[in-house]
């Protein structure tokens, strides 16, 4: 490529990130319907220049050229590492090699990770604490500790003069589309999906991070994935609901069925919940997108899990889903389980084991031998009504 598009997103602040249009999977787990971006930013003061975050493996050359279009890479003074994960930090050692006087700026924990992951020598690392500032001449960077968003070493960086917040993964979205928030129609869904996948397990820390971000009153939020927010209020409002764990009168139903018996049970439950005024989203685990499930877990009040018994336990897809429900720590209050079995069963007791350590109140777990009888259907309707009542209570 002869020349890259390197937008100046704010006075003397340049987006030097890269877009991974064709990536379809993240963390070997999460589908990416619109690819993703690895946002890195170059901040030029009249005395010093800082690079904030870097890019994923495979995009080093593009990053190098983009920086060089704005400022000689060898003259970079600081490389700020908000988060050590390789999608943002993999290219840091290369930049440090090309910019021999540059210092790596990161948290105390980040310093350890920079050595472990990237072999950055200790004498080239400048650890910073919450509230520390770094002078670039006519502009200043301020560092805000933001642990567990979503690794222990994470921090935000704030460019005070421009009022631009660089929160790394926090407020991010996986999409390669658009530069600014107004460019992507379904951005709030993508941001919610990202929140569910990455930030939901750390809602308490997220609440604190949100408060710290709001206190700064930034004019712009420049995350490490997805579009840059020219209007932070929109994402602030959304994060306020999501980190608080505000749920709706909504049930997420996830199931798998080999011979349709469990599916019939699940469908009767769906009809009952809907007729009781409950919003329902349904995923067949055979073809469901885990990211969609994570997104709907963000504000669902109840989960219904349907699985047949397979070899004495849950169907492996249902076990995977139940484990996700457990580890993503959604704000679910209620649950119900539906299962068909052939002879001895076993799926329901395994499900109760998996979800036993969560705060989800299991309203009912119903097992049926073979296909549903009329009598069984009546019991599912009863269970559905009871679950709907709980959901309406709040
Ligand atoms: C591969 C396989 C393994 C099974 N293992 C068990 C089992 O260990 N215990 C049991 O009670 N039923 C077992 N079954 C029977 C199913 O649980 C039963 O057919 C059930 O009705 C299937 O529900 P579905 O129609 O929702 O797939 C197994 C069935 C299959 C196909």
21, part of any domain? yes
1, part of any domain? no
* Same domain flag for 86 and 220: yes
Mutate-to-test residue for ligand 1 from 268, 341, 349, 351, highest number of ligand atoms within 8 A of CB: 341
Gap between the Cα atoms of 90 and 58, Å rounded: 9
Tokens of 60: 């080093």
**The last residue of a domain, from among 216, 244, 272:** 244
Length of the chain as a residue count: 394
Residue 310 alpha carbon to ligand 1 centre in Å: 5
For the domain that residue 261 is a member of, what is the CATH number? 3.40.50.360
Q: In what order do the strands lie in the sheet with 125-128?
A: 8-10, 13-15, 41-44, 49-52, 78-80, 103-107, 125-128
* Same domain flag for 24 and 42: yes
* Same domain flag for 160 and 112: yes
For the domain that residue 63 is a member of, what is the CATH number? 3.60.15.10
Structural domain of residue 344, as residue ranges?
Answer: 251-389
262-320 confidence digits (pLDDT tens): 999 999 999 999 999 999 999 999 999 999 999 999 999 999 999 999 999 999 999 99
Gap between the Cα atoms of 257 and 274, Å rounded: 21
Q: What number does the ligand 1 atom closest to the CA of 260 have?
A: 25
* Same domain flag for 95 and 220: yes
- What is residue 7's predicted lDDT score, i.e. its pLDDT? 98
* Same domain flag for 187 and 287: no
322-359 burial code (b ≥16 CB/10 A, e <16): bebbeebbbbbbbbbbbbbbeeebbbbebbeebbeebe
Gap between the Cα atoms of 141 and 339, Å rounded: 56
Gap between the Cα atoms of 122 and 219, Å rounded: 35
* Same domain flag for 41 and 177: yes
Burial class (CB in 10 A: 0-12, 13-18, 19+), 227: buried
Beta strands 302-306 and 250-255: pairing type? parallel
Residue 363 alpha carbon to ligand 1 centre in Å: 24
* Same domain flag for 108 and 236: yes
* Number of domains present in the structure of the chain: 2
37-83 confidence digits (pLDDT tens): 999 999 999 999 999 999 999 999 999 999 999 999 999 999 999 99
In degrees, to the nearest 5, what angle opens at C-alpha 169 toward C-alphas 243 and 206?
A: 20
End-to-end CA distance of the chain: 56
Tokens of 216: 């700064």
Tokens of 77: 């003074």
Residue 341 alpha carbon to ligand 1 centre in Å: 5
Query: For residue 207, which phi and psi values (nearest 5 degrees)?
Result: -60, -45
Task: Transcribe 50-114 into DSSP letters.
Answer: EEE----TT-HHHHHHHHHHHS-GGG--EEE-S--SHHHHTTHHHHHHHSTT-EEEEEHHHHHHH
* Same domain flag for 257 and 240: no
**The last residue of a domain, from among 197, 224, 244:** 244
pLDDT of 2 above 90:
no
Residue 369 alpha carbon to ligand 1 centre in Å: 9
Q: Which of 269, 239, 285 is nearest to 336 (CA)?
A: 269
How many CB atoms neighbour CB 172 within 10 A?
Answer: 25
Gap between the Cα atoms of 110 and 115, Å rounded: 9
- What is residue 192's predicted lDDT score, i.e. its pLDDT? 98
pTM of the model: 0.96
* Same domain flag for 221 and 273: no
Say which residue the tokens 């420049």 belong to.
Answer: 222
Beta strands 313-314 and 309-310: pairing type? antiparallel
Q: Which of 232, 231, 228 is nearest to 8 (CA)?
A: 228
Ligand 1: list residues with CB < 6 Å.
257-263, 308-312, 340-346, 370
205, part of any domain? yes
* Same domain flag for 188 and 306: no
Residue 342 alpha carbon to ligand 1 centre in Å: 5
* Same domain flag for 262 and 357: yes
pLDDT band at 1 (very low <50, low <70, confident <90, very high): confident
CA distances from 208 to 125, 127, 324 (A): 27, 22, 24
* Same domain flag for 288 and 221: no
3, part of any domain? no
ipTM for this prediction:
0.99
117, part of any domain? yes
394, part of any domain? no
State the helix-helix crossing angle for 316-327 and 290-297, rounded to 10 degrees: 40
96-142 confidence digits (pLDDT tens): 999 999 999 999 999 999 999 999 999 999 999 999 999 999 999 99
Which whole number is the average pLDDT over 318-337?
98
183, part of any domain? yes
291-312 burial code (b ≥16 CB/10 A, e <16): bbbbbbbbbbbbbbbbbbbbee
149, part of any domain? yes
Tokens of 35: 């690819």
**The last residue of a domain, from among 219, 244, 269:** 244
- Mean of pLDDT over the chain: 97
């Amino acid at each position: 490529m002869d020349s890259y598009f390197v937008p100046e997103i704010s006075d003397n602040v340049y987006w030097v990130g890269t877009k991974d249009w064709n990536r379809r999977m993240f963390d070997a787990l999460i589908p990416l319907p619109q690819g993703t971006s690895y946002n890195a930013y170059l901040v030029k003061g009249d005395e010093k220049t800082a690079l904030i975050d870097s890019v994923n493996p495979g995009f080093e050359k593009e990053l190098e050229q983009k920086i060089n279009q704005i400022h000689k890479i060898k003259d970079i003074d600081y490389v700020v590492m908000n988060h050590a994960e390789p999608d943002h930090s993999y290219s840091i050692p290369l930049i440090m090699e090309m910019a021999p006087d540059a210092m790596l700026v990161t948290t105390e924990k980040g310093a350890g990770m920079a050595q472990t992951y990237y072999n950055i020598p200790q004498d080239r690392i400048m650890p910073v604490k919450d509230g520390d500032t770094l002078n670039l001449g006519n502009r200043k960077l301020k560092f805000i500790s933001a642990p567990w968003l979503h690794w222990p070493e994470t921090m935000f960086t704030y460019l005070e003069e421009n009022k631009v917040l660089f929160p790394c993964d926090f407020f991010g979205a996986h999409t390669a589309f658009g530069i600014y928030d107004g460019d992507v129609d379904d951005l709030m869904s993508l941001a919610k999906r990202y929140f569910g996948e990455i930030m939901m397990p750390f809602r308490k820390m997220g609440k604190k991070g949100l408060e710290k971000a709001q206190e700064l009153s930034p004019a712009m939020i420049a995350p490490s994935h997805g579009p840059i927010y020219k209007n932070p209020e929109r994402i602030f409002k959304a994060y306020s609901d999501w980190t608080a764990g505000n749920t709706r009168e909504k049930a997420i139903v996830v199931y798998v069925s080999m011979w349709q018996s469990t599916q019939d049970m699940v469908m009767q439950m769906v009809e009952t919940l809907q007729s009781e005024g409950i919003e329902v989203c349904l995923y067949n685990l055979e073809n469901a997108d885990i990211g969609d499930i994570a997104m709907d877990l963000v504000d669902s009040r109840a989960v219904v899990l349907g699985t047949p018994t397979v070899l004495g336990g849950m169907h492996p897809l249902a076990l995977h889903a139940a484990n996700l429900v457990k580890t993503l720590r959604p704000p679910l209050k209620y649950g119900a389980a539906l299962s068909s079995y052939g002879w001895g069963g076993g799926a329901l007791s395994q499900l109760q084991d998996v979800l036993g350590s969560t705060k989800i109140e299991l309203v009912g777990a119903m097992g049926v031998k073979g296909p549903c009888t009329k009598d069984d259907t009546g019991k599912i309707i009863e269970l559905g009504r009871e679950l709907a009542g709980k959901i309406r209570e709040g």
